[in-house]
Amino acid sequence: MLPKFVRSTRRQFLNRLGAVSLASSLPLGRLFTPSATRVFAAPQSFAMHTFKNRMPLASSAFYPLPLGSIRPTGWLLDQLKIQANGLGGHLDETWADVSPSSGWLGGMGESWERGPYFIDGLIPLAWMLDDARLKAKAQRFIDWTLDHQAENGMIGPSSNNDWWPRIVMLKALTQYQELTGDPRVIPAMEKYLHHQLGELPTRPLRDWGKFRWQDELISVVWLYNRTGSPWLLDLARLLHAQGYNWQSQYADFHYTQRITRDYLKLEENDNGLKDLALSTHGVNNAQAIKAGPAWSLVSGSSVDRAAILQMISELDKYHGLPNGMFSCDEHLAGRDPSQGSELCSVVEYMFSLEHALAITGDASLGDRLERLAFNALPGAFTDDMWAHQYNQEPNQVECSLHQKPWTTDGPESNLYGLEPNFGCCTANFHQGWPKFANSLIMLSGDQNNDAHDGLVVAAYAPCEARTNIRGTNVYLIQETSYPFRGTVRLTVNPAAPLAFPLQLRIPAWAAGTAITVNGQSIPAPSPSSFARIERTWREGDRVEIAFPMAPRISHWFHDSAAVERGPLVFSYGIGESWVKLRDRDMTADWQVFPSSQWNYALKVNTNASDDAISIHEHEFSGQVFSASHSPIELEVRARKLIDWCAEDGAANTLPQSPVVSDQPEETIRLIPYAAAKLRVTAFPQLKT
Ligand SMILES: [Zn+2]
Judged against a pLDDT cut of 50, whether residue 344 lies above it is answered with: yes
Judged against a pLDDT cut of 90, whether residue 622 lies above it is answered with: no
What is the rounded distance in angstroms from the CA atom of residue 134 to the CA atom of residue 91?
Answer: 11
Sort strands 449-457 and 498-506 into parallel, antiparallel or unpaired.
parallel
- Report the pLDDT value the prediction gives residue 33, as an integer from 0 to 100: 32
Judged against a pLDDT cut of 70, whether residue 21 lies above it is answered with: no
Ligand 1: centre distance to CA 412 (Å): 13
End-to-end CA distance of the chain: 70
Q: CA 310 → CA 126, 241, 290, 291, 347, distances in Å?
A: 36, 21, 12, 12, 20
- Report the pLDDT value the prediction gives residue 30, as an integer from 0 to 100: 31
- Report the pLDDT value the prediction gives residue 267, as an integer from 0 to 100: 72
Judged against a pLDDT cut of 90, whether residue 540 lies above it is answered with: yes
Is 98 in contact with 427 (CB distance < 8 Å)? yes
Element (H, E) at 166: helix 163-180
Percent of all residues in the chain with a pLDDT value above 70, rounded to a whole number: 92
Stretch 403-418: mean pLDDT: 96
3-state secondary structure of 311: helix
Mean pLDDT score of the chain: 92
Ligand 1: centre distance to CA 413 (Å): 10
Q: Which of 52-61, 256-265, 410-419 has the lowest mean pLDDT?
A: 256-265
Q: Which of 71-80, 265-274, 291-300, 627-636 has the lowest mean pLDDT?
A: 265-274
Judged against a pLDDT cut of 50, whether residue 386 lies above it is answered with: yes
Q: Contacts for 591-597 with beta carbons within 8 Å, 24 or more apart?
A: 591/399, 591/400, 591/401, 591/415, 592/398, 592/399, 592/400, 592/416, 592/677, 592/678, 593/398, 593/399, 593/400, 594/397, 594/398, 594/646, 594/678, 597/640
Is 492 in contact with 467 (CB distance < 8 Å)? no
- Report the pLDDT value the prediction gives residue 27, as an integer from 0 to 100: 32
Ligand 1: centre distance to CA 367 (Å): 24
Ligand 1: centre distance to CA 426 (Å): 7
Taking residue 532's Cβ as centre, other Cβ atoms within 10 Å add up to: 14
Stretch 144-149: mean pLDDT: 98
Ligand 1: centre distance to CA 370 (Å): 21
Ligand 1: centre distance to CA 296 (Å): 28
Ligand 1: centre distance to CA 504 (Å): 33
- Report the pLDDT value the prediction gives residue 66, as an integer from 0 to 100: 95
Ligand 1: centre distance to CA 79 (Å): 21
pLDDT tens digits along 572-600: 999 999 999 999 999 999 999 999 999 99
What is the rounded distance in angstroms from the CA atom of residue 364 to the CA atom of residue 505?
Answer: 9
In which band, very low, low, confident or very high, does the pLDDT at 45 lie, cut at 50, 70 and 90?
A: very low
Ligand 1: centre distance to CA 204 (Å): 25
Residue 416 vs residue 34, higher pLDDT: 416
Rg of the chain over all Cα atoms, to the nearest angstrom: 25
- Report the pLDDT value the prediction gives residue 18, as an integer from 0 to 100: 30
pLDDT tens digits along 633-659: 999 999 999 999 999 999 999 999 999
Is 227 in contact with 63 (CB distance < 8 Å)? no
Is 563 in contact with 604 (CB distance < 8 Å)? yes
Judged against a pLDDT cut of 60, whether residue 4 lies above it is answered with: no
- Report the pLDDT value the prediction gives residue 254, as an integer from 0 to 100: 96
Ligand 1: centre distance to CA 365 (Å): 23
What is the rounded distance in angstroms from the CA atom of residue 81 to the CA atom of residue 395?
Answer: 29
Judged against a pLDDT cut of 50, whether residue 174 lies above it is answered with: yes
What is the rounded distance in angstroms from the CA atom of residue 574 to the CA atom of residue 654?
Answer: 17
Judged against a pLDDT cut of 70, whether residue 201 lies above it is answered with: yes
Q: Which of 42-56, 366-380, 550-564 has the lowest mean pLDDT?
A: 42-56
Stretch 474-491: mean pLDDT: 98
Ligand 1: centre distance to CA 390 (Å): 6
| Concatenated DSSP letters of 345-358 | HHHHHHHHHHHHHH
- Report the pLDDT value the prediction gives residue 271, as an integer from 0 to 100: 58
Judged against a pLDDT cut of 50, whether residue 616 lies above it is answered with: yes
Ligand 1: centre distance to CA 131 (Å): 26
Ligand 1: centre distance to CA 116 (Å): 14
Stretch 537-549: mean pLDDT: 98
- Report the pLDDT value the prediction gives residue 508, as an integer from 0 to 100: 98
Judged against a pLDDT cut of 70, whether residue 41 lies above it is answered with: no
Residue 45, C-beta contacts closer than 8 angstroms, at least 6 positions apart = none
Ligand 1: centre distance to CA 672 (Å): 24
What is the rounded distance in angstroms from the CA atom of residue 354 to the CA atom of residue 351?
Answer: 5
Ligand 1: centre distance to CA 85 (Å): 21
Ligand 1: centre distance to CA 424 (Å): 4
pTM above 0.85, yes or no: yes
- Report the pLDDT value the prediction gives residue 272, as an integer from 0 to 100: 53
Judged against a pLDDT cut of 90, whether residue 265 lies above it is answered with: no
Q: CA 133 → CA 186, 432, 596, distances in Å?
A: 25, 20, 43
Q: Is the peptide bond before 658 cis (omega within 30 degrees of 0)?
A: yes
Ligand 1: centre distance to CA 164 (Å): 15
Ligand 1: centre distance to CA 40 (Å): 36
In which band, very low, low, confident or very high, does the pLDDT at 11 lie, cut at 50, 70 and 90?
A: very low
Starting at the edge strand found earlier in the chain, the sheet holding 514-517 runs 70-72, 463-469, 472-480, 487-494, 541-546, 514-517, 520-521
Ligand 1: centre distance to CA 633 (Å): 31
- Report the pLDDT value the prediction gives residue 268, as an integer from 0 to 100: 72
Degrees, nearest 5: CA angle 673-348-69: 95
Judged against a pLDDT cut of 60, whether residue 40 lies above it is answered with: no
